[in-house]
């Protein structure tokens, strides 16, 4: 059961929609009933949790997680991913449609996912669908069944069962999504630019970086924006790694195209110059680029050009990462491309954000309110406000810890943050008013897209 309700959580650092201040949060039936002045709700109520100077945040909403179950559960699964999420202060995840088998490209595929996830989730969980060549007829039924939108790849995805879309497929998928009012989320790298780039396998990160140039992102985004303009589809660019994309987005928005974008903790906190030879834990696509690009991403984030900062948690087994410490070759070209960070996104981003002069309220906007808005969950998730689910996190902004990959809840002990010291410790995570105890039974729910939700215009 939740608290012997109602209950009050008190903090001198509650991060509310209008900023950080001392507050009491009254919780009833799993929801936030009201937010009141600090110290005002002592008498006449049930349990009171006083966090003192420990901050109280709304639970994070991570709209970009690859759970991989069923089919590749050895890479990650619902139980392990959602336990890691809860431990990292994430109370809602939206699962990507690929790397699981079957992929979520048909209503039957969605049913398989839902049945598999049943009873395994420690946090609330929703699903993206996939738009692949030939499945236009499946998009409307999937959308009716509650997926939050549809992912497409403009370049090969890395798994054969989720092919990328060519120009005609993209046009057809976007036209249908415009018709049904769906949000199209896009992996934007251009295959022709990738094919023309120098391919030099081996342990040197600079060779891998040269094989996935920034021009692949800008070419793909330009092509996507043209298609969005023609079809009227509402599009969202996933995991923007190159800051060179941003001027294109600004111009398109000025032109009336409905487009938003996200970036990820690894692009904001890591840089190409720091990647050790053979350390394929750092491999992802698009790749982590240089320091100057990272600074430009932070500038864009500060200017409100990104709607969300989300993990793109996409792990695999250590052998597929070809990590030298597990006996692998350390070859960046051949290693699985994907970064495991679900449990570490909040402290990673907070550590760097604070260094750059940002406040906790900024991190909450990027990692909780922003992604909630992207998927139409504003009013339910992503804020400490009356009426929202009591998804809350006790967060010690000064709590430092060293990352040991084997101690994380992720299924596999691989992360590029291994060995780093991060600031920001999650002390307790509450899901709908109930403290998540990963030693007890999971009580996460499956979410569907709100029925009347139409994706908001890009801002």
Q: Could you tell me the smallest distance in angstroms from the CB atom of residue 326 to Zn ion?
A: 23
In the numeric block, which tokens belong to residue 214?
């920034």
Nearer Cβ to Zn ion, position 3 or 128? 128
Q: Could you tell me the smallest distance in angstroms from the CB atom of residue 327 to Zn ion?
A: 27
Q: Could you tell me the smallest distance in angstroms from the CB atom of residue 96 to Zn ion?
A: 5
Nearer Cβ to Zn ion, position 157 or 423? 157
The answer to the question of residue 312 lying near Zn ion (CB under 5 A) is: yes
**Which range touches Zn ion (CB under 5 A), out of 279-287, 306-314, 370-378, 414-422?**
306-314
The answer to the question of residue 62 lying near Zn ion (CB under 5 A) is: no
Nearer Cβ to Zn ion, position 279 or 312? 312
β-bridge pairing 150-153 and 421-431: unpaired
Nearer Cβ to Zn ion, position 312 or 373? 312
Q: Could you tell me the smallest distance in angstroms from the CB atom of residue 66 to Zn ion?
A: 6
Binders of Zn ion among residues 124 to 153 (CB under 5 A) are none
Q: Could you tell me the smallest distance in angstroms from the CB atom of residue 354 to Zn ion?
A: 27
Residues 6+ apart with CB under 8 A from 88: 60, 342, 343, 344, 345, 346, 347, 426
What is the C-alpha separation between 384 and 292, in angstroms, rounded? 35
The label of the residue with tokens 């081996």 reads: 202
Nearer Cβ to Zn ion, position 126 or 278? 126
The answer to the question of residue 189 lying near Zn ion (CB under 5 A) is: no
Instruction: Specify the 3-state DSSP secondary structure of 432.
Output: coil
**Which range touches Zn ion (CB under 5 A), out of 32-40, 134-142, 201-209, 309-317?**
309-317
Q: Which of 76, 66, 89 is nearest to 360 (CA)?
A: 89
CA angle in degrees (0–180, nearest 5) for 441-424-426: 15
Residue 371 backbone phi and psi in degrees, to 5? -65, -35
Could you tell me how many residues of this chain bind Zn ion (CB under 5 A)? Answer: 1
Q: Could you tell me the smallest distance in angstroms from the CB atom of residue 97 to Zn ion?
A: 10
In the numeric block, which tokens belong to residue 161?
């069962």
Alpha-carbon 123 to chain mean position: 14
Nearer Cβ to Zn ion, position 338 or 347? 338
In the numeric block, which tokens belong to residue 88?
């990292």
Give the chain's end-to-end CA distance (angstroms, integer). 40
Under 8 Å between Cβ of 36 and 77: no
Nearer Cβ to Zn ion, position 76 or 312? 312
Q: Could you tell me the smallest distance in angstroms from the CB atom of residue 143 to Zn ion?
A: 20
**Which range touches Zn ion (CB under 5 A), out of 10-18, 312-320, 349-357, 387-395?**
312-320
Under 8 Å between Cβ of 426 and 454: no
- Contacting positions for Zn ion (CB under 5 A): 312
């Amino acid at each position: 059961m939740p608290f012997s309700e109602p209950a009050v959580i008190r903090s001198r650092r509650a991060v509310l929609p209008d900023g950080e201040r001392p507050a009491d949060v009254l919780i009833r039936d799993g929801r936030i009933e009201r937010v009141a002045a600090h110290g005002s709700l002592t008498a006449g109520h049930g349990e009171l949790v006083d966090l003192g100077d420990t901050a109280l945040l709304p639970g994070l909403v991570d709209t970009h997680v690859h759970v991989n179950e069923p089919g590749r559960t050895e890479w990650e699964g619902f139980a392990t991913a959602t336990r890691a999420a809860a431990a990292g202060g994430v109370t809602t995840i939206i699962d990507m449609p690929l790397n699981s088998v079957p992929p979520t490209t048909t209503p039957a595929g969605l049913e398989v996912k839902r049945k598999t996830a049943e009873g395994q989730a420690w946090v609330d969980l929703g699903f993206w669908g996939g738009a692949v060549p030939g499945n236009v007829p499946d998009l409307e039924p999937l959308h009716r069944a509650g997926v939050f939108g549809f992912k497409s790849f403009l370049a090969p995805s890395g798994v054969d069962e989720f092919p990328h879309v060519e120009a005609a497929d993209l046009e057809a998928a976007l036209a249908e999504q415009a018709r049904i009012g769906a949000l199209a989320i896009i992996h934007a790298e251009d295959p022709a630019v990738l094919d023309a780039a120098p391919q030099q396998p081996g342990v040197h990160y600079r060779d891998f970086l040269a094989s996935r140039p920034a021009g692949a992102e800008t070419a793909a985004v330009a092509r996507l924006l043209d298609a969005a303009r023609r079809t009227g589809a509402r599009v969202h660019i996933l995991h923007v790694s190159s800051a060179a994309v941003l001027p294109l987005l600004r111009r398109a928005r000025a032109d009336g195209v409905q487009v938003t974008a996200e970036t990820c903790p690894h692009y904001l906190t890591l840089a190409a110059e720091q990647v050790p030879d053979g350390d394929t834990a750092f491999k992802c696509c698009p790749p982590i680029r240089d320091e100057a690009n990272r600074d430009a991403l932070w500038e864009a984030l500060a200017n409100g050009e990104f709607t969300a900062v989300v993990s793109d948690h996409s792990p695999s087994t250590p052998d597929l990462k070809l990590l030298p410490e597990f006996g692998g070759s350390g070859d960046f070209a051949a290693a699985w491309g994907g970064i495991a960070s679900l449990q570490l996104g909040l402290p990673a981003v907070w550590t760097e954000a604070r260094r750059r002069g940002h406040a906790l309220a900024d991190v909450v906007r990027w990692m909780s309110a922003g992604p909630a808005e992207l998927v139409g969950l504003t009013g339910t998730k992503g804020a400490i406000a009356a009426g929202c689910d009591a998804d809350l996190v006790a967060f010690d902004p000064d709590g430092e810890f060293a990352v040991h990959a084997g101690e994380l809840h992720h299924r596999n002990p691989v992360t590029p943050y291994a060995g780093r010291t991060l600031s920001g410790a999650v002390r307790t995570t509450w899901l709908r008013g109930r403290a998540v105890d990963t030693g007890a039974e999971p009580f996460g729910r499956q979410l569907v897209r709100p029925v009347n939700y139409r994706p908001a215009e890009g801002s």
